[in-house]
Amino acid sequence: MKPQITAPPSTALRAAWRALRPALLIVGLFSVIVNLLALTPTLYMMQVYDRAVASGHVGTLALLSLIALASLAMMALFDWLRARILVRAGRAFDAMLAPAVAARLVTKTQAVAADRGAGLRRLDTVRQVIASPLATVYFDLPLMPLYVAASFLLHWSIGVLGLASAALLLVIAILGQRSSHAPRTHSLAQAEAAQVALGHLAAHADDLRAGGIAPGLLERYLDRRAAGRDSEARAAFLAGGYSGATRFLRMTIQSGALGLGGLLAIDGFISGGAVIASSLLLGRVLAPIDQIVGGWQALGNARDSHAYLKQLLADAPIQTGTTMPEPEGALQAERLTVLAPGSDRIAIANVEFSVNPGEQIGVVGLSGAGKSTLLRAMAGALPAVRGTVRIDGLAFDHWPTHQLNRAIGFLPQNAVLFPGTVKDNIARFEAESSERTAEKIDADVVAAAMRTGAHDMIVRLPDGYDTMIGTGEPGLSAGQIQRVALARAMYRGPRILILDEPTANLDSEACYRLIRLLSSLRGERVTVLLGSHSGEVLASLDKLLVLKAGAMTSFAPPPNGRLQVRNADASKVT
């Protein structure tokens, strides 16, 4: 057995920041250079007034101007370089985390619909801030004491003014962030929920219109959207107010520095050039804080998004496990208890049974009894809050994901096809590799379609197996979707086949083909767990598992398959 060594998602965020550390150190070094060169206008102003003007030498003025021009050009160069590095750092950050975030969104089984798409959007938010000019503020802010020290060199009173002004603006910035945090968070949550609702509306627009549901849902969506915009506006108003106050104070302080410098010059404590230099220095002291306040909403969104990513990647890391021998198909459920999706209601409780390799089990019960929940839990689509699902004796979570994907074929109750070709959907979007060439994938796709009786239907589509789905072309019928999804479940011959209402939307001929498929799978010792209301299908199975109100009431061979289906209420089954 070959162990798989992979970093758990909980360390992915830290690993990404560690990988960016060299680039960020270079940006920090360039920021020191940029901020040192940013003193050029101050020094130039002092030298012009104190040397060139005082001496009346044009050559001195020209030499000072050339030196200042070269220094400013170097500052612009290093500023441009650090901006490019940050853009590349943002792209690298996204490339390192996108696979882990996408994987957690798929494996986070208890995530609500809004959470499913939030992770990558939050990652985009962080990436955009890393690659934006706002990121340079975090490198400039620690260098603010450099300008404060230069202010003290001019005169202690100018230094004290700069220090006090910086402290005052920092307090205002913190107050602004705290006041806008709640409406900004509410706005983000409402926007994500509204986006999910809009996706549902777009996906089912025809049915909603025909059923008369569209007006009510549209009104609810627009109300949620409006609530999000109101919160966004409140956050923007607060941020704008604090930004305006900060800008007013900064300009007032800079003007005050001119007045203070003039007073000191009158008393002979500083030169005339130092008067203007003091105003320029205080402007550099306060500029990073002004930038932070101006971009506080974007920075706040990035901070909240980073916290979300940290929680997402640290929550229940994906189990990879040790590579095991290919499963034979034994299934066990031990005191299995599962919640209904998206709620705290127990859907099935303390279900316990065992299935030998090659056995075919039917799951029956009235609507709401928990059939689909049980089948989804056995397939790994829903987590157990108590109890364990085992395959060949090994707990489900201890199997490597790639082996589970290979061993289990699952047809959910509401089959869905995804944007791509029919072949892509059947092949589960498997990518070519050195071991799995395009020819092998094609052969397995056709084999799965032929076994399930979908081949003849597929070749009659406009482009056969290459017919596109979900890109504006004519869609497939419900029966066609069901056949393609069944072929997907049979792709590469799984050892365990879990089917939820496989005969839904199928005609009598397709149902007959399914019964023939089940008969052939019994000879191949493929384990089948099947939920259905079809008497013809259930009559051919080895045992029936009867559910009533989430509890298992019977697990035995059917004395009369058809009778079992008509009387699916567990109280009427003997």
Mapped to the 3 state alphabet, what secondary structure does 324-336 carry?
CCCCCCCEEEEEE
Contact 428, 352 (CB under 8 A): no
Beginning with the edge strand found earlier in the chain, give each strand of the sheet holding 386-391 in spatial order. Answer: 346-355, 331-339, 386-391, 394-395
- In angstroms, rounded to a whole number, what is the distance separating the alpha carbons of residues 395 and 401? 12
Tokens at 488, concatenated: 């997907």
| Closest CA relative to residue 104, chosen from 113, 92, 93, 116 | 116
Q: Interhelix angle for 58-107 vs 12-37, to 10°?
A: 170
Contact 475, 419 (CB under 8 A): no
Tokens at 499, concatenated: 């089917």
User: 202: how many CB neighbours lie within 10 A of its CB?
Assistant: 9
363-380 as b/e: b if 16+ CB within 10 A: bbbeeebbbbbbbbbbbb
User: 219: how many CB neighbours lie within 10 A of its CB?
Assistant: 10
Long-range Cβ pairs for the range 150-153 (8 Å, 24+): 150/39, 150/42, 150/281, 151/278, 151/281, 151/282, 151/285
What's the pLDDT tens digit per position in 271-281?
777 777 777 77
Place of tokens 């994987």: 103
CATH ID of 10-314, from 1.10.10.10, 2.30.42.10, 3.30.200.20, 1.20.1560.10: 1.20.1560.10
- Residue 496: phi, psi to the nearest 5? -130, 125
Q: Cα dist. 324→388, 391, 394 in Å? A: 18, 11, 10
**Which distant-in-sequence residues (6+ apart) come within 8 Å of 384 by Cβ?**
336, 337, 338, 377
Contact 515, 503 (CB under 8 A): no
- In angstroms, rounded to a whole number, what is the distance separating the alpha carbons of residues 268 and 259? 14
- In angstroms, rounded to a whole number, what is the distance separating the alpha carbons of residues 109 and 365? 25
Contact 235, 191 (CB under 8 A): no
The stretches of 131-271 forming alpha helices (DSSP H) are 134-140, 144-154, 156-203, 205-210, 214-266
Q: Using only the alpha carbons of the chain, give its radius of gyration.
A: 34
- In angstroms, rounded to a whole number, what is the distance separating the alpha carbons of residues 386 and 278? 69
| Closest CA relative to residue 408, chosen from 428, 383, 436, 385 | 428
User: Beta 527-531 vs 394-395: how paired, if at all?
Assistant: unpaired
DSSP state of 132: S
Tens-digit pLDDT string for the chain (574 aa):
333 334 444 578 888 898 999 999 999 999 989 888 888 887 887 788 777 777 778 888 888 889 989 999 999 999 999 999 999 999 999 988 888 888 777 665 554 444 556 778 888 889 988 988 888 888 887 877 877 888 888 888 888 888 888 888 778 777 777 777 677 677 767 776 666 666 666 666 665 566 666 666 677 777 777 777 777 777 777 777 777 777 788 788 878 887 887 888 888 888 777 777 777 777 777 777 777 766 767 777 788 888 888 888 875 444 555 788 888 999 999 999 998 877 788 999 999 999 999 999 999 988 888 999 999 999 988 888 999 999 999 998 888 888 888 899 999 988 888 888 999 999 988 888 878 888 999 999 999 999 988 999 999 998 899 998 875 444 788 888 899 999 999 999 999 999 999 988 777 887 888 888 999 999 899 999 999 888 888 888 999 999 999 999 999 887 654 434 434 433 333 3
Long-range Cβ pairs for the range 550-553 (8 Å, 24+): 550/346, 550/347, 550/348, 550/349, 550/369, 550/370, 550/373, 551/348, 551/349, 551/350, 551/351, 552/350, 552/351, 552/352, 552/353
Fold of the CATH domain 331-572:
Rossmann fold (3.40.50)
Contact 309, 123 (CB under 8 A): yes
Sequence spans of domains, the chain: 10-314, 331-572
